[in-house]
Amino acid sequence: MAKSGVTARGGAGRTRGPWLSTVARQRELSLVAIMVVLGALVSIGAPQFLTPSNLSQVASLASIIAIAAVGQALVVITRNIDLSVEAMMGLVAYCVAIVLERHVLDAPAAIAFGLGLGLVLGMINGVIVTLLRVPAIVATLGTLSIFRGVDYLVAGSHQVPLAGLPPGFTDAARDSILGIPIFVLVALVVVVIGSVVLRSTRFGRQVYAVGSNPEAAAILGIPSRLIVFTAFSLCGLLSGVAGVLWVMQFGTINGTSATGVVLSVVAAVVVGGVAIFGGSGSLAGAALGALFLGFIANALILVGLSQFWLQAIYGVVILVAISADALILRRIQRATAARRAR
């Protein structure tokens, strides 16, 4: 948001091909490395950490955030932000739960309904940002209040209990295929499809272009507003997916479900190396960021550190992540400048 950031990044609108992938890979690799080291350290004190059941539970829970983070990453890459993610998740979760409880739809139809609702909510965000020209942070701040208000309005004081859902609906949270939890598979599918689209299609390149230099993108004839609209819509769709998974994970759903999630989602994106200025970052990074944060939360519990340390550690992790980003960027810029000077 700070305009100084634009000049700090510098450069024309051409895609930073080699830089993008190098920085991204560095971030992803470092996250994986840290997780491995962390895992080893924690398991010394708490052997339950590395058990398959614990790992799959952590991964499952993190998958929900990861999917939402992938959607958020898409939006952030276009140099926008979506603060309404948690409200979209909560509203979709409640609507899916209530539709199931009242037997209006059966499970597959309810899931489709949830995804469709998420898509529509994302499109509303997209319209407000692209057509009404409201800056993303303002627009999604507004829709955060609106969607959450609608969620409370629709839910009232009602709560859908686990018993209200069709039997077996929540099993997906604990089942696995070939040893991999279903939630993790869903997240993997999302990440893989998203990454392929971003890296190998024209649409993907346009997304990065719009994010790194909107003026140049406009000159090049890229339909920026359509791209941004699509990003927000996809973010809504993925929030809808996360909302459906939320119902499966927690069972009991009311109007307050999924409150407070937006911090974790944005943190995951930042830790995952997606620059807040747009134009760079990977979906896999965002997903890994979510996994990373989930690991830390779990490690804390097992090591016996009070849960109250979690917030502080999240904060430190975010600050370290962006400082690392800035340092890497500066080194790259110095290298580029040096090379140009020769």
Partner 1 sequence: MERRSSGRFIALASVAVLIFAACSSGSTSSPSAAVPTAAPAGGLTVGYLPKDIVNQYFAAAKTGVDKAAGETGGKVIQVGPNEAKADLQIPFITDLTTQKVSAIIISADGKDEVAPSLKAAMKAGIKVVGFDSSPAVGAYDVFVNQVDFSGVGVNLSDWACELAPSCTGDIAILSAAATATNQNAWIDLMKTTLATDKYKGLKLVDTVYGDDDATKSTTQAQALLTKYPNLKVIVAPTTVGILAAAQVVAQAGKSATVKVTGLGFPNDMKPFVKDGTSPVFGLWSVPDLGYLSYMVAAKLVSGEITGKEGETFTVKGLNGDQPYTIGKDSVVILGPAFRFDATNVDNFNF
Partner 2 sequence: MSAAVTPANGQRRWTRLLARWETLLVVAVVGLVALGASLSPFFLTPGNFSNLVAALMEVAIMALPMTLIIVAAEIDLSVESMAGLASAILGFLWAAGVPLWIGIPVVLVVGALGGLMNGLLVARGGLPSLVVTLGTLALFRGLALIVLGPRGVSDFPPAFTELGFGHVPGTLIPWPFVVFVLLALVLGILLHRTWVGRQIYAIGKNPGTARFSGVRVTRVRVGLFVLSGLIAALAGIILTSRLSSARADAGSGMTLTVVTVVLLGGVNIFGGSGTIPGVALAVLAVAVMQNALRLASVTVEVQSIALGLLLILSVVIPTFAHQAKSALDRVRGGRPPPADSIAHGEAALS
Spatial separation of the C-alpha atoms in residues 234 and 218, rounded to whole Å: 22
Residues 295-324 that bind partner 1 (CB under 8 A): 298, 301-302, 304, 307
Structure tokens at 117: 């609702």
Q: Does 247 bind partner 1 (CB under 8 A)?
A: no
Q: Does 54 bind partner 1 (CB under 8 A)?
A: yes
Per CB under 8 A, which region of 251-259, 274-282, 314-322, 331-339 contacts partner 1?
251-259
The distance in angstroms from the start CA to the end CA of the chain is 33
Q: Does 132 bind partner 1 (CB under 8 A)?
A: yes
Per CB under 8 A, which region of 75-83, 95-103, 214-222, 333-341 contacts partner 1?
95-103
277 is in the binding site of which of partner 1, partner 2, none (Cβ under 5 to 8 A by kind)?
Answer: partner 2
Which x/- pattern, by CB under 8 A, does the window 205-224 give for partner 2? Answer: ---------xx-xx-----x
Least distance from partner 1 to the Cβ atom of residue 12, Å: 30
Q: Does 326 bind partner 2 (CB under 8 A)?
A: yes
For tokens 């509303």, what's the residue?
124
Per CB under 8 A, which region of 16-24, 40-48, 148-156, 294-302 contacts partner 2?
148-156
Q: For residue 291, which of 176, 197, 188, 193 has the smallest C-alpha distance?
A: 188
For tokens 């930042």, what's the residue?
270
- Cβ contact 253:247 at 8 Å: yes
Spatial separation of the C-alpha atoms in residues 168 and 115, rounded to whole Å: 20
- Cβ contact 75:82 at 8 Å: yes
What does DSSP assign to residue 12? -
Residues 6+ apart with CB under 8 A from 275: 76, 281, 325
43 is in the binding site of which of partner 2, partner 1, none (Cβ under 5 to 8 A by kind)?
Answer: none
Residues 83-122 that bind partner 2 (CB under 8 A): none
Rg over CA atoms, the chain: 20
Checking phi first, is residue 81 left (phi over 0); if not, alpha (psi -120 to 50) or beta? beta
Q: Is the CB of 190 or the CB of 274 nearer to partner 2?
A: 274
Structure tokens at 163: 């018993």
Residues 156-195 that bind partner 1 (CB under 8 A): 156-159, 161-163, 170, 173-174
Q: Does 123 bind partner 1 (CB under 8 A)?
A: yes
For tokens 């927000």, what's the residue?
232
308 is in the binding site of which of partner 2, partner 1, none (Cβ under 5 to 8 A by kind)?
Answer: partner 2
- Cβ contact 246:111 at 8 Å: no
Q: For residue 267, which of 96, 8, 59, 62 has the smallest C-alpha distance?
A: 62
CA 137 to chain centre: 16
Cα 13–Cα 16–Cα 21 angle in degrees, nearest 5: 155
Of residues 35, 107, 120, 137, which one binds partner 2 by CB under 8 A?
Answer: 137
Of residues 85, 99, 144, 190, which one binds partner 1 by CB under 8 A?
Answer: 99
Strand partners, 253: 160
Spatial separation of the C-alpha atoms in residues 68 and 87, rounded to whole Å: 12
Per CB under 8 A, which region of 90-98, 103-111, 296-304, 305-313 contacts partner 2?
305-313
Of residues 46, 107, 112, 146, which one binds partner 2 by CB under 8 A?
Answer: 146
Least distance from partner 2 to the Cβ atom of residue 34, Å: 17
Least distance from partner 1 to the Cβ atom of residue 96, Å: 9
Q: Is the CB of 190 or the CB of 269 nearer to partner 2?
A: 269
Least distance from partner 1 to the Cβ atom of residue 301, Å: 5
Interface ranges with partner 1 (CB under 8 A): 48, 54, 57, 94-95, 98-99, 102, 104, 117, 120, 123-124, 127, 131-132, 150, 152-159, 161-163, 170, 173-174, 250-259, 298, 301-302, 304, 307
